[in-house]
Amino acid sequence: VLGGLLMAIAGAAITLLIYTNFADKPATVVERDSSGAQLADARGFLTSFQLGEGQIDFTYAAEQTVHAVVHVRTKAMVKEPDNPFMQWWYGDRYNNQPREQRGYGSGVIISEDGYIVTNNHVIEDAENIEVKLNDNRVLPAEVIGRDPTTDIALLKIKANNLQYLRWGNSETLKVGEWVLAVGNPFTLGTTVTAGIVSAKGRNLDILEGEYRIESFIQTDAALNVGNSGGALVDTKGLLVGITSAIYTPNGAYAGNSFAIPVSIVKKVIDDLRQYGEVQRA
């Protein structure tokens, strides 16, 4: 009897442990990419499929987009906060030197002469920025302007005759429409994923500033670390959004991705290109 009782108690404890470990946890918004996997130089990938008799084919939109999406690489020197304990322990030998921090993300070419839109959080605080084109050329990039309140930044590279994306219309985009997300997840290389528009006008409360603007397009197209600043396009290959965030309990894609609509992006980019900053009344 005693043995049976002990087994029952042990079983209950194991059940409680399993429940505790796998119970639902509140989701968190991931909006910033960080350096991580080093799997660069992978070839680009195209994804297309057909659905039933309707034969929904994404190859045209994908082919229009992959050549206009770039990989953004950043470098910055970062100094950790001084550690009083380490200073006491090592004394004069303590040397808190800045270390190089690398980051990566995606960007979208919007003109044949090298203007590129990306997320502000991809290039914020970067001391050196370069972009890798789909043809494997690597070029330095200059920051023309950035706007933290919308998480948009405008870069410029010295190149001509580039394939670029044309503006679509995010205002007429409907919930349920197919969209493609194109970016550089995990530095794998240009990758295409597909999904539908799940919702429009989402406010996630993740941006900062008195004039912050949030009206995200929500989609179930898969995004991961490195996709920030990439393209969200419709089935015609027209740019309808700039991918920016995911909603996740663990840092990985969990079915909810968010993009800044081009109705916001275009206004910000026009101002950054002309004035270097966003004009507000």
Kindly state whether residue 281 falls inside one of the protein's structural domains.
no
Please state, in angstroms and as integers, the Cα–Cα distance from residue 51 to each residue in 54, 55, 127, following that order: 6, 5, 46
As for how many domains the chain has, the answer is 1
Encode the chain (281 residues) as per-residue pLDDT tens digits: 445 544 444 454 434 333 333 333 334 444 445 443 333 323 333 344 444 556 788 999 999 999 999 999 999 987 666 667 666 666 666 666 777 889 999 999 999 999 999 999 999 999 999 999 999 999 999 999 999 989 999 999 999 999 999 999 999 999 999 999 999 998 889 999 999 999 998 887 776 666 677 789 999 999 988 999 999 999 999 999 999 988 777 777 778 899 999 999 999 999 999 998 888 76
- CA-CA-CA-CA dihedral for 258, 261, 265, 266, to nearest 10: 160
Task: Give CA–CA dist 35/186, Å, rounded.
Answer: 9
In sequence order, the 6+-apart residues with CB closer than 8 A to the CB of 74 are 102, 103, 104, 105, 122, 123, 126, 128, 129
Task: Give CA–CA dist 189/236, Å, rounded.
Answer: 22
Segment 30-61, tens digit of pLDDT: 444 544 333 332 333 334 444 455 678 899 99
Kindly state whether residue 205 falls inside one of the protein's structural domains.
yes
Segment 261-271, tens digit of pLDDT: 999 999 999 99
Kindly state whether residue 20 falls inside one of the protein's structural domains.
no
In sequence order, the 6+-apart residues with CB closer than 8 A to the CB of 28 are 247, 248, 249
Kindly state whether residue 15 falls inside one of the protein's structural domains.
no
- Domain housing 108: 29-275
CATH of residue 266's domain is: 2.40.10.120
What is the chain's percent helix, strand, coil content, to nearest 5? Answer: 20, 30, 45
Kindly state whether residue 21 falls inside one of the protein's structural domains.
no
Active site (catalytic) residues:
121, 151, 228
- CA nearest to 56, candidates 214, 177, 155: 177
Q: What is the pTM of this model?
A: 0.75
Say how many C-beta atoms besides its own lie within 10 A of residue 211's C-beta.
11
SS3 at position 33: coil
Say how many C-beta atoms besides its own lie within 10 A of residue 11's C-beta.
10
Q: Phi-psi bin for 84: left (phi > 0), alpha (psi -120 to 50), beta?
A: alpha
Kindly state whether residue 210 falls inside one of the protein's structural domains.
yes
Are β-strands 138-140 and 128-132 bridged in parallel, bridged antiparallel, or unpaired?
antiparallel
Segment 147-187, tens digit of pLDDT: 998 999 999 999 999 999 999 999 999 999 999 999 999 88
